Structure 1
Amino acid sequence: MALVTGRAGIGATIARVLASLGAKVVVNYYQSAEMADEVVRSIRAKGGEAEAVQANILDESACKKLVGCACDLYGRWTSWYSMRLRLRRCCQWSLMMLSTIGVC
């Protein structure tokens, strides 16, 4: 499972590439559900698995819910790709923890 923040530009491209390689992808968006849904539709149209999940990754509680939702959807954690240069401590901690233990 890969969690990709940023539903446009580079984030969308990364989500599509990871899905084409067999990853189950969670596409995070903050405001534009339509753009995230388009990425999900394009992945599913090619036989991939993807879901869009709304969350502001700069908000600690929202970040924790996003990580929990991604794990609930697809189970084992493998990758986190963020288009944000500045992540709050919560997201950095979640990435470190999940990368270390490999599960949710």
Structure 2
Amino acid sequence: MKRIFFISAAVLFIFSCGEKKDPNAKADGKLIFEKNCSICHGNDGKLGLGNAKDLSVSTMDMDSRIQIISYGKPGMTPFKGVLEDNEIEAVAQYIEQLRKP
């Protein structure tokens, strides 16, 4: 019985020692977008699944984009608390690159 307790405690300890994110680290907006946003917006921002906006034609300014990514809107998940602030900003900057020239 003690052995099971110690093994359980060791496993719990190992899983609780996850790598802490550095909120000041430079985030890869493309990678974060592909992981969190592309399922609805597509890798190129044009998919529009479930009424997701075509980001390649967006005229939204950076601050508005950050607000929507952070707090969501009807039909879109808010990412504040899921992503760090620097990751949200990196995604917003990456979306700027998806716009058609």
* TM-score when normalising by structure 2: 0.29
The structure with the larger Rg is 2
Query: Of Structure 1 and Structure 2, which has the larger fraction of its residues in helix?
Result: 2
Query: Of Structure 1 and Structure 2, which has the larger fraction of its residues in strand?
Result: 1
